[in-house]
Amino acid sequence: MEQDATFEIMLVCAPGLEAPLLEEVTELGFGTPVQVPGGVTIQGDWADVWRANLQLRGAVRVLARIGSFMAFHLAQLDKRARKFPWGDILRPDVPVKVQVTCKASKIYHAKAASQRIETALTDSHGITLAEDAALVIKVRIDDNQVTISLDTSGEPLHRRDHKEAVGKAPLRENMAAMFLRQMGFDGDMPVVDPMCGSGTFLIEAAEIAAGLQPGRSRRFAFQDLANFDAEAFDAMRKDGRGTQARHLFFGSDRDAGAVRNATANAARAGVSDWTQFACHGAQEVRPPEGMKPGLVMVNPPYGGRIGNKKLLYALYGSFGQTMLSHFKGWRVGLVTSEPSLAKATGLPWQPQGQAIAHGGMKVWLWHTPPLR
């Protein structure tokens, strides 16, 4: 595969967040974006793979479709896998892991198919295999067509590598970013989170406002590929050094440990100048002085992993009353797996939106118009 050749790139996201990811991909100017179940596909080259990993906030992984062929039996799979130009992309000294799925094909045994591909990698190209390898080759055999993809991200992209301290049930950064997008956040309004936990909503909001690249602090699997151009990628990173944010972002939590964690995470992310954290209950939160109305974003406990759901109705009710009493003109976004808890706030929610898969459960983003 030539360095500047175009191919399909799959941008994976949490199911239910395909639409906001499509908006982000389109805004960033990636070629021919198409929304598909579980993500967005684009057409691009290796530079687009690097940029997608570096700049996209809503994606979980970036898969490069590096080739495909037909195979109707294991011997044919073995022969064609040996002829595949693995050496154009993979380095012998960098271990890889192979994952195979089979669907509606004459080759139906995924383990046997995986063994054939692994043998082709080691015998024909001298590629090293390892179960714990960061570089993963994903092979899908569907209707006898073998599609080979490379997971170019390594660690999931929500791991920005500057949030070390987290709570018991943290919200993933990519979900927080897409929820902010669904609320219409573009960086030019204040955000308040009265149950801030490790500070995810506010750190993402501050980074967006400051123009900081989400992947600026971390390493990616594609940096170990044979065709990686470190100089070109470094220039891409330097292009997103950020600017001065216009607004501040305010978090609070009744747990002093959470406030310390959020403060430390914001410092590691380089957004301390635009974030403020305080320790008090959600019912004590007030709009920051001198700020125009903006967004209140909150990810309260739902009772799924933490606590007894029956005890949470009072918490949600007092939160809703605080919003109605003190946050007129502000819009509220609330994430929960329990519609009944959202309704317990008494807030004027818009119609319930699409469910989002999160950690083995379904959650919804509930949102209001400006409160009156």
The three-state DSSP-derived secondary structure of 308-335 is CHHHHHHHHHHHHHHHHHHCCCCEEEEE
- Same domain (yes/no): 190, 332: yes
Q: Is residue 260 part of a domain?
A: yes
Q: Report the distance separating Cα 142 and Cα 151, nearest Å.
A: 19
Q: Is residue 223 part of a domain?
A: no
Mean pLDDT computed over 344-358: 95
pLDDT-based confidence at 239, cuts 50/70/90? Answer: confident
Position 5 scores a pLDDT of: 86
Mean pLDDT computed over 274-297: 96
Q: Fill in the DSSP letter of residue 129.
A: B
Per-residue pLDDT for 164 more than 80? no
Distant-in-sequence, close-in-space partners of 10: CB < 8 Å, separation ≥ 6: 36, 39, 40, 41, 62, 63, 65, 149
- Same domain (yes/no): 307, 200: yes
Q: Is residue 252 part of a domain?
A: yes
Position 302 scores a pLDDT of: 85
Q: Is residue 166 part of a domain?
A: no
- Same domain (yes/no): 133, 268: no
Position 247 scores a pLDDT of: 85
Q: Is residue 23 part of a domain?
A: yes
Position 29 scores a pLDDT of: 97
pLDDT-based confidence at 108, cuts 50/70/90? Answer: very high
Sign of CA dihedral 283, 289, 291, 292: positive
CATH number at residue 80: 3.30.2130.30
Helix (H, G, I), strand (E, B) or coil at 254: coil
Q: Is residue 164 part of a domain?
A: no
- Same domain (yes/no): 363, 252: yes
Mean pLDDT computed over 153-166: 85
CATH number at residue 318: 3.40.50.150
Position 169 scores a pLDDT of: 59
Mean pLDDT computed over 281-309: 87
What would you measure as the largest C-alpha separation in the chain, in angstroms? Answer: 71
How many domains does one find in the chain? Answer: 2
Q: Is residue 307 part of a domain?
A: yes
Mean pLDDT computed over 35-62: 98
Q: What angle do CA 115, 119, 122 make, to 5 degrees?
A: 140
- Same domain (yes/no): 190, 111: no
Mean pLDDT computed over 7-20: 98
Mean pLDDT computed over 86-97: 96
Burial zone of 27 (CB within 10 Å; 0-12 exposed, 13-18 middle, 19+ buried): exposed
pLDDT digits (tens, 9 = 90+) for 140-159: 999 999 999 999 999 999 99
Tokens for 212?
Answer: 């900081």
Q: Is residue 253 part of a domain?
A: yes
Q: Report the distance separating Cα 74 and Cα 79, nearest Å.
A: 9
- Same domain (yes/no): 139, 178: no
- Same domain (yes/no): 190, 290: yes
| Domain closes at, from 151, 182, 206 | 151
- Same domain (yes/no): 250, 363: yes
Position 22 scores a pLDDT of: 98
- Same domain (yes/no): 89, 56: yes
Q: Report the distance separating Cα 336 and Cα 95, nearest Å.
A: 40
Per-residue pLDDT for 165 more than 80? no
Position 241 scores a pLDDT of: 73
Position 168 scores a pLDDT of: 59
Per-residue pLDDT for 309 more than 90? no
- Same domain (yes/no): 126, 27: yes
Domain that holds residue 75: 7-151
Average pLDDT of the chain? 94
- Same domain (yes/no): 97, 184: no
- Same domain (yes/no): 182, 304: yes
pLDDT digits (tens, 9 = 90+) for 177-229: 999 999 999 999 999 999 999 999 999 999 999 999 999 989 999 999 999 99
Mean pLDDT computed over 285-314: 86
Per-residue pLDDT for 303 more than 90? no
Sign of CA dihedral 217, 220, 222, 228: positive
pLDDT-based confidence at 308, cuts 50/70/90? Answer: low
